[in-house]
Amino acid sequence: MRRSDGPIILVLCIVIFCLFSLQSYPKYQLDQVDTGPDPRVKGQFNDWKKCIETNISVYKENANGLWFNLWKGVKLCEKLPFMADLQIEMFHNKDETKYHIRSLQKPSVIVTLGIGHDTGAEETLVKRLPEGSEFYGADPMHEGNEELFTKFGSYFPFAVGAKSQVYDDLWIDAEEAEYDMFPYFYRGGELDQNGIVLCQFNMEVSLR
């Protein structure tokens, strides 16, 4: 399901505390599994969590109701005072909008899973990031996607690999394959187990 007029993909997935923690620590501690939000932004994290829970609790036993009304709760919680400080920027593809908060650590590392023959958002973001930022894209359909993505980044027909363990943004448009990826993002999941830090990510969730 797509809502071109609402930032649902952004706000469902954004992990705000990493943006602040990376600047303050010269070496981010990757050898420990995260046990909660960074204490320096714990208040904001809890405010957001409480706001979302309050506005969607009525749909707790109603999956369809949650699917079609979650965006309303998101819009209300966007009005929390700290949200204005995040300086969220929009980057447009032909049929969707992706969102990004420029990282406090430079240069950035951006990963796209599912290119879909459209790199408009990435090409705009390239111009907004400092020289040296790295872009990695993966899509099993190499025809067209490889030519588009290699103009500014590294293309992979399947998996994405890089030396960095800190990724500033992950954009996912996997055309229903995203459901199989959910366990990777669980606390203690494979990302945690491999010491991989995602500062923020956008995921388009398709209606099956």
Give me the domain span that covers residue 52: 33-86
Neighbours of 152 (CB within 10 A): 16
98 and 82, same domain (yes or no): no
40 and 55, same domain (yes or no): yes
186 and 163, same domain (yes or no): yes
92 and 104, same domain (yes or no): yes
Instruction: Flag whether 3 is in a domain.
Output: no
Average pLDDT over residues 53-74: 90
Hey, what amino acid is at 166? V
Q: In this structure, what CATH number is given to the domain that contains residue 108? A: 3.40.50
Instruction: Flag whether 182 is in a domain.
Output: yes
Instruction: Flag whether 12 is in a domain.
Output: no
Residue 75: per-residue pLDDT: 92
Pairwise CA distance, residues 197 & 30, whole Å: 8
Average pLDDT over residues 116-127: 94
Q: In what order do the strands lie in the sheet with 201-203?
A: 154-156, 134-138, 109-113, 169-172, 201-203
Residue 80: per-residue pLDDT: 94
Q: How many domains does the chain have?
A: 2
Q: Provide long-range contacts, Cβ within 8 A and 24+ apart, for 153-160.
A: 153/110, 153/122, 155/115, 160/111, 160/113, 160/136
pLDDT at 160 over 80: no
Lowest mean pLDDT among 99-103, 115-119, 151-155: 99-103
- 17-26 pLDDT, tens digit each: 343 444 443 4
Residue 37: per-residue pLDDT: 74
For residues 120-145, one letter each, b for 16 or more C-beta atoms within 10 angstroms of the residue's C-beta and e for the rest, the string is ebbbbbeeebeeebbbbbbbeeeeeb
- 106-118 pLDDT, tens digit each: 899 999 988 989 9
Model pTM score: 0.70
